[in-house]
Structure 1
Amino acid sequence: MSYQVLARKWRPRLFREMVGQEHVLQALINALDNGRLHHAYLFAGTRGVGKTTIARILAKCLNCESGVSSEPCGQCAACCEIAEGRFVDLIEVDAASRTKVEDTRELLENVQYAPTRGRYKVYLIDEVHMLSNSSFNALLKTLEEPPPHVKFLLATTDPQKLPVTVLSRCLQFNLKNMTPERVVEHLRFVLEQEMVPFETGALWHLGRAADGSMRDAMSLTDQAIAFGGGKISEAEVRAMLGSIDAGLVWKLLQALAEESAASLFAAVEELAQQAPDYSAALAELANNLHRIAVAQVLPQSVDNALGDGERLREHAARIAPENVQLYYQMALLARRDLPLAPDPRSGFEMALLRMLAFRPQGVAEIPRASLPQDNAAEPPPTVQQPAVQQPAVQPESAALEVAAEKKRLADVTPAEVGAPAVDDTPPWEPPRAAVTPAPEPVAPHVVDEPPAAVEPPQQQPVPEMAVEAAQPAPQSPQPVADQRATLREQLRQQVAQVESAPLPPQEARPKPQQPVAEKPASARLDALTPGSWPALYGQLGVSGILHSIAFHLELVVRQDNILSFTLDESYSSLYDEVHQRRLADLLSDFFQQPVTVYIQVGQVRGTTPARLAAATREARLAAARDALSADPLVHELQQELGAELLPDSVESLAEAD
């Protein structure tokens, strides 16, 4: 028996075997099950996304001997003949080869006759946009009011060329391009069934090269199997497609992060030895920069499907977001201007030199180490400034400090006059009447007050702190220093709690790499319950699209190694049966034993990881608001400066960690 290519061998024969196009399948399945069938359908989309396949399955559903339904038996004579392409009542027409009006008239002469074998006579017209205007005009009347036993199925890759009179007579379905993720999942399934060894990185190259077409992906897979001698490896697929080595692109980004011209040109020289397409190299560079930019904004979106997740996190931490955006724009413009360069390599090198030379100026560097936890660089108190600094939030202007100092001096009691009241680093002179500045040789700890202001405290019991400040002994500032240290420590604790002073933009950037929680040694499947599932989810390390699904799952019941989940119906549009298999594989690896997973879309009544995370955020936010409301420093600011606390503006620092 002759070899049958993968695209034909694995062509779906039922709706449930289709990959993607759920929005089209749902409408057709409901119409078939409810008996609401239209007489003309138009399927539009790029090549290889399933237009003809859906039309043939629909013809099989209409003529199955077991009745009209969305699940044909596949065993009756009509189903077998349609699958083999010899059913007499399925008339397939190639409009590209029958464009004349005479061909259309000949085709329509038999419309009035009843079907020979089946229930309906189905006209499948492929590439219908190739018909001439006269052919469309001849088809209009029959297309609008066909006999009840006739169905028209039209397929086109260019619906804009169809007259609006034809479009208005059909139900239109626009088929979407296949995403690389969906193509890779289907290729993995097919190759496992065909028992062909493969590398996952090679499948991603094939998925991107298919450019949204599943048929192209299957054809390229056939070519890769022949090229690799019965196996598919990443290096061979890259050589077959002429793709750029991903490792060299990462070397270019590494040199840009290190700002090393020598490393940059060494990577270019290594790339030039492969005689690459420099336009494709710029496109690959821009694609990696896009992934880095997304990882900097959404660290949880990093997916290691390509095997470069660690590199992606590393470069997202090392390259500033401003530089990433600039590099991306330069790569796009360089790709546009590459045909104008003297030769492609010089244009490529000039683009990299621009990235290296023209970086944003005046932007703080990315922190290379952990941020300090306290103000260790603050100088210790000196004898020239023995005053006790009042704990306060850093003022936004010197005017607020002046106002606070005036109010404190106005409320001072006679017993406090002897105590030092000068701030550590005052940007102004305290406003006092008849102030006599101390001469240079006088000891700095003597209070700089006129005699009239100092005499009243000498007639009353003077506090110990004031007496020691008035004596010229060298050890006198020690209690003041202790009090300063105590107040400084209190200030640090308050700032650490409420974080009143925001971090600079570069330091406030989220941490580039979040450590994945390791699985505890005591993790056992028999200990998993619906109540413990939300807490266990954080240990799985789920990322990518699967994270968006599993984050909203509720564990309903566990029977031995069979887990039944309910997916929140609000996120049903993201779900695919592939995610059910991927979650089962992930849990099997986690528990070190086979796990079967069933996911059903419905209303969630219990706790999901998403609800647990939301409840945790609310609790942290409430605790942060309570801490601010009870903080004595906040009360002091409200009383003395008339400050107002806005609860809606409070954020929990735990969310940024």
Structure 2
Amino acid sequence: MTYQVLARKWRPRSFDTLIGQDHVVRALTHALNTQRLHHAWLFTGTRGVGKTTLSRILAKALNCEQGVSATPCGQCRSCTEIDQGRFVDYVELDAASNRGVDEMTQLLEQAVYAPSAARYKVYMIDEVHMLTGHAFNAMLKTLEEPPAHVKFILATTDPQKIPVTVLSRCLQFNLKQMTVPAIEQHLQDILQQENIPAEIPALRLLAQAASGSMRDALSLTDQAIAYSAGSVSTDDVQGMLGTIDQTHLLHILHALIDANGAQLIAIADDMALRGLSFRGALADLAVLLSRIAIQQRVPGALPPDEPNIQGIEELAQLLSADHVQLFYSVVVHSRDELALAPDEYAGFIMACMRLLALIPAGSLPAVATPAPATPVVASAPAATVTEAPVIGAAPTPPAVPVAAQPTSTTAAAPEPDLPPASPPKVIQDTPPWETAAPSSTATTRVGIQPPMVERGVQTIAAGAAQQATPWDTPSQPSSVAEPVVAEASASVIQPPSVDKPVVSSPSVDEPPPYEEPPIDDSAYDSMSQSDHDADFLTGDIENGDNTPLMDDAVQQAVAALDLPTPTIPKPERLSPTQWAELAPTLPLSGWASELAQQAEWVECAGNDITLRVAIRSADDSLAKSRINTVLNEYFGQVLRLHIEYGSTGDDTAYAIAQAERAQRQAQAESDAQQNPFILALIQQFDAQVVPDSIQAK
């Protein structure tokens, strides 16, 4: 006799033997017992959860010769022929291969006839979501009001693709996926009746690999029996499925705790030699970490027959809860990144290296690090001297505490040729970390410069001034904080009056005292903007006493930058042509840029700028606000933008661009008509140039 696979041999024949669908069985049983029979049922669920099996059981319950009930006899002619798939009044239609409107029309034409040998004519349409839209429309009327002797059973794995007009005409039952314990128990019962020895861990692996499908579980069991030569052992099932042994996972976690990278690589190499799936290994490692987290948070929640329960309890004690969560996150994300890795082995190794970087700190070997040098401090406690940085001088290391003498302060590393430092001018109880901020010298802005050029010139001028005055002298106004001495007591100590010696460098001449000269604006008012810009960048502008604002060092620095001379007219002097050239260069985008380029310059009266636009848009208010902000930044003054609507001329940026584009198009068409190659094609092959096919670059 031909061998029959387990999935067909042990297909449930009644509601009592159906596994894992108690909610559906309860509803159908009550409906059959009370004779409240609907004309259409829809069973949804993933593959192998019992949709076709449930349809056959329901067809037997409707057509059993003993009567309509939830317990068909299974012995009569109707029941046996339905189980064997040859009952004339039970039609199973595969919508994947019969999905057109013609097949559906033929089925509905036969539905009007009475059943041949049964109580009801039952049509079971499998994968009904594969029907076309016209096929669904063809069956709507019959599905809503079928003949009294017709029952429809629809099954699908994707109910989202079924029209709502069909869903509203059916009773819908969502079949659940099988749980691992239910599949494991069912496999154990079947193998006991088949007299096939099996190990419980092997059955658990098969149940997990089935992913909720009983048919997949039975098919894998058939494969395991053939692979193991008549038995189901754990080692054979692991080799067949390519799953990793749980002991490998425990060894991985122990190697992480021991910070043993060599052992991790050895485990990965062993897995590669055995042909194990690294993706599956990461998935199993994530499951193991979840078991460890459960054991840590809810002790005793894991069942006693959990695989490797002792190893899980041990790891729950060795690992902290935070590291378990980090490990789990890394493993899950690394599994998703395996597709991006050069190969699965490299991806798994990188995942282990990431985990190795997160191991508990206590398991790492102590690394001796050199201690920072401790400054030598005098035995007597004294005040702390904090020296402010000298502008223009080279950066100095942070100040360290030194011993304060009764009459003078000792420098950290005095030069041998320099005189001793004088007593500090200010002694107060300010903490050493609160030093006085350098006082900034007020700078007078001459003219209206673009912001970036002005800031660059000021920065260069400040740097040159710092380099020109590296020494702080009594006669020069100090722009930095004086040394501050913080003492333990909170009282202010007034030192005796002592003349402060001058500390100067023998190689640098002392500059003359600096005084802020008055500025005469009359000369600037008579200058044009372009002349002023050139004079400012070259340092030719003079103060009231005919002294240039920039010294030689600043002029040399500006000359080295090779900055272009900007020419920015004042807004009241702007012409429509200049606005058309300026509008495309403004930092605008979207509708604001389009509005600026399509606008025509009208006038600038005082601080009010007026532009004219031909077409009104709903987004003009936002674009107007953006343009106003950009113009304020560009001209360096507060302006108010007004937009009026009316006809515009040909001096807008958009009109100019269109004219240039039309000119280029005309030139391109003229060049194409004179092209020798095109002329040769026209003469030899009677070719024609398609109008509007020539596009200028």
Matches within 5 A, 1:501-512: none
The alignment partner of 1:47 has SS state of coil
Q: How many residues are matched?
A: 363
Q: Are the equivalent residues in 2 in contact too, given 1:257–1:315 (CA < 8 A)? A: no
| Distance in 2 (alpha carbons) for counterparts of 1:341 and 1:8 | 42
AA aligned opposite 1:247: T
2:157 paired residue number: 157
Residue 304 of structure 1 deviates from its aligned partner by 4.2
The alignment partner of 2:300 has SS state of helix
Q: Are the equivalent residues in 2 in contact too, given 1:121–1:151 (CA < 8 A)? A: yes
The alignment partner of 1:46 has SS state of coil
AA aligned opposite 2:300: Q
2:115 paired residue number: 115
Residue 139 of structure 1 deviates from its aligned partner by 0.3
| Distance in 2 (alpha carbons) for counterparts of 1:266 and 1:153 | 56
2:20 paired residue number: 20
Residue 341 of structure 1 deviates from its aligned partner by 2.9
Residue 178 of structure 1 deviates from its aligned partner by 1.0
* CA-to-aligned-CA distance 1:104-148 (integer Å, 9 cap, x gap): 111111222221111111111111111111110000000000111
AA aligned opposite 2:313: R
AA aligned opposite 1:207: A
Q: Are the equivalent residues in 1 in contact too, given 2:256–2:359 (CA < 8 A)? A: no
Q: Are the equivalent residues in 1 in contact too, given 2:126–2:154 (CA < 8 A)? A: yes
| Distance in 1 (alpha carbons) for counterparts of 2:221 and 2:130 | 30
Residue 342 of structure 1 deviates from its aligned partner by 3.7
* CA-to-aligned-CA distance 1:1-27 (integer Å, 9 cap, x gap): 111110000000000000111111111
Q: Are the equivalent residues in 1 in contact too, given 2:52–2:155 (CA < 8 A)? A: yes
| Distance in 1 (alpha carbons) for counterparts of 2:100 and 2:212 | 32
| Distance in 1 (alpha carbons) for counterparts of 2:97 and 2:228 | 37
Residue 28 of structure 1 deviates from its aligned partner by 0.4
2:324 paired residue number: 324
| Distance in 2 (alpha carbons) for counterparts of 1:223 and 1:161 | 34
Matches within 5 A, 1:459-478: none
Q: Are the equivalent residues in 1 in contact too, given 2:206–2:221 (CA < 8 A)? A: yes
AA aligned opposite 1:239: G
1:345 paired residue number: 345
Q: Is 2:82 aligned against 1:90? A: no
TM-score under structure 2 normalisation?
0.51
| Distance in 2 (alpha carbons) for counterparts of 1:2 and 1:12 | 20
* CA-to-aligned-CA distance 1:568-621 (integer Å, 9 cap, x gap): xxxxxxxxxxxxxxxxxxxxxxxxxxxxxxxxxxxxxxxxxxxxxxxxxxxxxx
The alignment partner of 2:48 has SS state of coil
Describe the shift of the 1:102–1:343 C-alpha distance in structure 2 as closer, same or farther (beyond 3 A).
closer
AA aligned opposite 1:278: F
Matches within 5 A, 1:264-413: 264-359=264-359
The alignment partner of 1:301 has SS state of coil
* CA-to-aligned-CA distance 1:457-499 (integer Å, 9 cap, x gap): xxxxxxxxxxxxxxxxxxxxxxxxxxxxxxxxxxxxxxxxxxx
The alignment partner of 1:60 has SS state of helix
| Distance in 2 (alpha carbons) for counterparts of 1:320 and 1:180 | 29
The alignment partner of 1:299 has SS state of coil
2:618 paired residue number: none
1:48 paired residue number: 48
Residue 268 of structure 1 deviates from its aligned partner by 2.7
Residue 182 of structure 1 deviates from its aligned partner by 1.2
More helix by share: 1
Residue 89 of structure 1 deviates from its aligned partner by 1.1
| Distance in 2 (alpha carbons) for counterparts of 1:195 and 1:348 | 41
AA aligned opposite 2:217: A
| Distance in 2 (alpha carbons) for counterparts of 1:355 and 1:54 | 47
Q: Are the equivalent residues in 1 in contact too, given 2:257–2:359 (CA < 8 A)? A: no
AA aligned opposite 2:89: D
Describe the shift of the 1:158–1:192 C-alpha distance in structure 2 as closer, same or farther (beyond 3 A).
same
| Distance in 2 (alpha carbons) for counterparts of 1:344 and 1:96 | 36
Q: Are the equivalent residues in 2 in contact too, given 1:180–1:208 (CA < 8 A)? A: yes
| Distance in 2 (alpha carbons) for counterparts of 1:188 and 1:219 | 14
Residue 350 of structure 1 deviates from its aligned partner by 2.1
* CA-to-aligned-CA distance 1:602-654 (integer Å, 9 cap, x gap): xxxxxxxxxxxxxxxxxxxxxxxxxxxxxxxxxxxxxxxxxxxxxxxxxxxxx
| Distance in 1 (alpha carbons) for counterparts of 2:342 and 2:44 | 42
Matches within 5 A, 1:559-598: none
1:595 paired residue number: none
2:619 paired residue number: none
1:72 paired residue number: 72
The alignment partner of 1:160 has SS state of helix
The alignment partner of 1:138 has SS state of helix
The alignment partner of 1:55 has SS state of helix
| Distance in 2 (alpha carbons) for counterparts of 1:80 and 1:295 | 51
Structure possessing the higher relative contact order (Cα contacts under 8 Å, 6 or more residues apart)? 1
AA aligned opposite 1:138: A
The alignment partner of 1:303 has SS state of coil
Q: Are the equivalent residues in 2 in contact too, given 1:6–1:222 (CA < 8 A)? A: yes
1:211 paired residue number: 211
Residue 306 of structure 1 deviates from its aligned partner by 4.8
| Distance in 2 (alpha carbons) for counterparts of 1:30 and 1:257 | 57
Q: Are the equivalent residues in 2 in contact too, given 1:338–1:347 (CA < 8 A)? A: yes
Residue 54 of structure 1 deviates from its aligned partner by 0.4
| Distance in 2 (alpha carbons) for counterparts of 1:20 and 1:339 | 35
Q: Are the equivalent residues in 2 in contact too, given 1:204–1:306 (CA < 8 A)? A: no
Matches within 5 A, 1:203-242: 203-242=203-242
| Distance in 1 (alpha carbons) for counterparts of 2:134 and 2:341 | 49
1:249 paired residue number: 249
| Distance in 1 (alpha carbons) for counterparts of 2:111 and 2:335 | 54
1:183 paired residue number: 183
AA aligned opposite 1:98: N
| Distance in 2 (alpha carbons) for counterparts of 1:223 and 1:188 | 16
1:578 paired residue number: none
The percent of aligned pairs where both chains have the same amino acid is 54
Residue 359 of structure 1 deviates from its aligned partner by 4.5
| Distance in 1 (alpha carbons) for counterparts of 2:251 and 2:68 | 59
2:124 paired residue number: 124
Unaligned runs of 5+ in 1: 366-657
| Distance in 1 (alpha carbons) for counterparts of 2:275 and 2:130 | 40
The alignment partner of 1:125 has SS state of strand
Q: Are the equivalent residues in 1 in contact too, given 2:184–2:204 (CA < 8 A)? A: yes
Q: Are the equivalent residues in 2 in contact too, given 1:63–1:120 (CA < 8 A)? A: yes
Residue 336 of structure 1 deviates from its aligned partner by 2.0
AA aligned opposite 2:169: R
Describe the shift of the 1:164–1:347 C-alpha distance in structure 2 as closer, same or farther (beyond 3 A).
same
The alignment partner of 2:274 has SS state of coil
CA-based RMSD of the aligned residues comes to 1.6
